[in-house]
Amino acid sequence: MADAEGPETATEHERILQEIESTDAACVGPTLRSVYDDQPNAHKRFMEKLEARIRNHDREIEKMCNFHHQGFVDAITELLKVRSNAGKLKVQVTDTNRRLQDAGKEAINQSEEMIRCRVQQRNIATTVEKLQLCLPVLEMYSKVREQMKAKRYYSALKTMELLENTYLPQVYQYRFCQIMTENIPRLRDEIKEISMSDLKDFLESIRKHSDKIGEMAMKQSPQQRTFNSVVKKQTNTSDERRLHVANGTVPEHVDDATSEQLQDEEEEYEEEVLTAQDLVDFSPVYRCLHIYTVLGDRETFENYYRKQRRKQAGLVLQPQSNMHETVEGYRKYFNQIVGFFVVEDHILHATQGLVTRAFTDELWNMALSKIIAVLRTHSSYCTDPDLVLELKNLIVVYADTLQGYGFPVNRLFDLLLEIRDQYNETLLKKWAVVFREIFESDNYSPIPVANEEEYRMIISRFPFHDSELEKQPFPKRFPVSLSVPEIYKEFKEFIYASLKFSESLHRSSTEIDDMLRKSTNLLLTRTLSGCLQSLIKKQHIGLTELVQIIINITHLEQACKYLEDFITNITNVSPETVHTTRLYGLSTFKDARHAAEGEIYTKLNHKIDEFIQLADYEWTMTEPNGRASGYLMDLINFLRSTFQVFTHLPGKVAQTACMSACKHLSTSLMQMLLDAEVKQISMGAIQQFNLDVIQCELFASSEPVPGFQGDTLQLAFIDLRQLLDLFMVWDWSTYLADYGQATSKYLRVNPSTALTLLEKMKDTSKKNNIFSQFRKNDRDKQKLIETVVKQLRSLVNGMSHHT
């Protein structure tokens, strides 16, 4: 079995040996493992095989060495020869190397120096390159600083923007660039603060210069209007002069002063007028606006500016407490407001959106309401019409100025209509003083004229036409007193003063005519009427003065139509126009005349009462004196002289006064008889009283005032006459029998009146000593009296029951 396997095992071992010889030593492991993996004891046979192979290789090596030995010996011999030459070569090489090293040291040093120079050159080139990038950054930063120092902030912001967006990104790695980057926001904030400070200075500046700006703007408005109206004014002045010459008067305001005023206006127009740009530097607001726009914070700036201007508007619109005292106060107030809105208008048109039309309109509407309220309040304090007129002129110029800048001013012209009413009120108060002074200085006697010149002077001031007076020789008298032409002149002056306010109000001639007529009516119905009423009631005005006042009123009433023509000539509005207001002269003077007439009646009656108080009757006298009482004769003489003055009065006035006086005298005498303090009246006193009544009747029948028909005036004493006749005739049977009949002889005798007087006579009879003797006639008379008294009482009682 062992012999049979012998050839195969030998073959395998041969293969393993070939692999070991041909394989890398690192890969021998697997091959050797296969030896041990085979049959037992196989490795021994392999080891034997391996040793045999080693011996075989040793024999081949020995053969090879023997074959090459002689060549090896020759080579050794040659090497020994070479060794000596190599020693010499080594010495030579060493020497050459030393000499080469010595020579290379200088080259090395020069190379190293060259290397350093090259590095320096490269560094310098790099530095130059970097500096070329950094220098523009530094230059721009320096430029920013210079621009800020020169206060060119807008340019500085633009430079910073260029620096930040273009230059700094190229050198951002350097530290100084980081510092610059950190400083730029601070610089922007600094510019913001500086520009805002400039804006505050600008706002303060325009607040200080608003007055001057407004003054210049308001000066421009009337100046532009001056040249357009100079010719018209001159024409109106010529027409006005002709009108006044036709009326015989040339007022103060139509004289050389008018020409001087026009000349002054022309000279003033030629003066150079400064504008808002000349007075205020607007560059801070433009600069600040641009700065905030560049910084992207425009909205903040706009809000701040508008807020500050609103505050300034509130301050500008706040008037001084004493503004109403002088026109300068109003002028300064208007100048400030105009200056404020002129600045706003300039800002509106010079900037894009800093202020808008809506914002200015809002400010204007707020200001307009405040202005109207202020003017309405302060103008109410004005009592001087000249000041109110100057205020009106200021408001017109103010309105025209702002209208030229596009602001609506209709409400201001509506306010002027209110101020016009107040102006008329101040005029009325002023003319009330003028009228009172005229009335106080008047002597209330007809105006005497000694020659033609004086006569013409009076009729030039007052439209008086009387052909009979013209025919009379000099000296002669006008029927009116001095107050009449003065009053008429003042009426025309009032119309002129009222007309002044209507100028420049952009009203039609019809409206102006209506204004003049209404204000003149107020002067008639309120002022003049009130002054006349007050004059009439004054204690020192006597009957003669009242008569003259009535005459004056009559002529003033007739002059009203001339006043209407006067207004028509001024306004050129026909009086036939449908809506033309008529002057209320007729009703005004009629009321005043009636008041004067009533005062005449009152004063005449009061004078009669004064004479009556002088009466001193002895009511128990037995016999009359045989003549009328002295007080009554004085009274009648006074009435005669007074009624002679009444000849200049209208007939009805004189007749009414005379009838009123007689009735009052009759009533006073009747009251004297029936006075409760008079307890007893004798028949002698009745007879004496009858003598006085007879004088009164004679006075009435003498026609002290012409125009009475028949015995009309005597009827004033009919009650007294029938009462006295009844007692003197003692005709009681007739009285009692005919009582209540229309044909009764004693129809005007009242039973109660007769009873009162009879009882006073009854008491006198009882105390008379004669009646104490009980004579038959006296007893019969006493019984008759008692019987009549009873019957009278029954009549009186019947009357009371009937009532």
Q: What is the DSSP string of 356-420?
A: -HHHHHHHHHHHHHHHHHHHHHHHTT---HHHHHHHHHHHHHHHHHHHHTT---HHHHHHHHHHH
Is the pTM higher than 0.75?
no
Cα gap 365→372, rounded to integer Å: 11
Residue 347: count of CB within 10 angstroms of its CB: 21
What angle separates helix 357-379 from helix 298-316, to the nearest 10 degrees? 10
pLDDT, tens digit (0-9, with 9 covering 90-100), for 596-611: 888 888 888 999 999 9
Cα gap 532→555, rounded to integer Å: 14
Cα gap 288→347, rounded to integer Å: 13
pLDDT, tens digit (0-9, with 9 covering 90-100), for 382-437: 888 888 888 888 888 888 888 888 889 888 888 888 888 888 888 899 999 999 99
Q: Do 593 and 532 meet the contact criterion of CB atoms below 8 Å apart? A: no
Q: Do 233 and 266 meet the contact criterion of CB atoms below 8 Å apart? A: no
pLDDT, tens digit (0-9, with 9 covering 90-100), for 335-366: 888 888 888 888 888 887 788 888 888 999 99
Cα gap 308→224, rounded to integer Å: 33
Position 222 scores a pLDDT of 59
Position 262 scores a pLDDT of 44
State the pLDDT confidence band at 273, using cuts at 50, 70 and 90: low
Cα gap 477→489, rounded to integer Å: 20
Position 577 scores a pLDDT of 63
Residues forming a β-bridge with 476: 449
pLDDT, tens digit (0-9, with 9 covering 90-100), for 462-514: 888 888 888 888 888 888 899 999 999 999 999 999 888 887 777 788 888 88
Residue 476 dihedral angles phi and psi, to the nearest 5° = -145, 175
What angle separates helix 452-461 from helix 483-502, to the nearest 10 degrees? 40
pLDDT, tens digit (0-9, with 9 covering 90-100), for 698-718: 999 988 888 888 888 889 999
Position 651 scores a pLDDT of 63
Helix then strand then coil, % of the chain, to nearest 5: 80, 0, 20
Position 387 scores a pLDDT of 87
| pLDDT at 32 exceeding the cut of 60 | yes
Residue 37: count of CB within 10 angstroms of its CB: 9
Cα gap 791→799, rounded to integer Å: 12
pLDDT, tens digit (0-9, with 9 covering 90-100), for 302-317: 888 889 888 988 888 8
344-353 contact pairs (CB < 8 A, 24+): 344/309, 345/405, 345/406, 346/276, 346/277, 346/282, 347/282, 347/285, 350/282, 350/286, 351/285, 351/286, 351/289, 353/302
- Token readout for 138 is 């530094």
Q: Which residue has the higher pLDDT, 228 or 705?
A: 705
Position 634 scores a pLDDT of 93
CA distances 215 to 168, 222, 335, 339, 524, Å, are 53, 11, 5, 7, 40
Looking at residues 659-683, what average pLDDT do you find?
A: 91
State the pLDDT confidence band at 768, using cuts at 50, 70 and 90: low
Cα gap 372→761, rounded to integer Å: 81
Position 719 scores a pLDDT of 93
Residue 238: count of CB within 10 angstroms of its CB: 11
Looking at residues 621-640, what average pLDDT do you find?
A: 90
pLDDT, tens digit (0-9, with 9 covering 90-100), for 422-446: 888 888 999 999 999 999 999 988 8
Residue 788: count of CB within 10 angstroms of its CB: 19
pLDDT, tens digit (0-9, with 9 covering 90-100), for 128-161: 888 888 888 888 888 888 888 888 888 888 888 8
588 residue type, one letter = T
Looking at residues 101-108, what average pLDDT do you find?
A: 85
Q: Do 550 and 653 meet the contact criterion of CB atoms below 8 Å apart? A: yes
Shortest CA distance to 797 belongs to which of 751, 736, 734? 751
Q: Do 648 and 479 meet the contact criterion of CB atoms below 8 Å apart? A: yes
3-state secondary structure at position 477 = strand
State the pLDDT confidence band at 231, using cuts at 50, 70 and 90: very low
| pLDDT at 257 exceeding the cut of 60 | no
As to burial, measured by CB atoms within 10 angstroms (0-12 exposed, 13-18 middle, 19+ buried), residue 298 is middle
Position 44 scores a pLDDT of 78
Contacting residues for 465 by C-beta, under 8 A, at least 6 apart: 459
3-state secondary structure at position 318 = coil
| pLDDT at 2 exceeding the cut of 60 | no
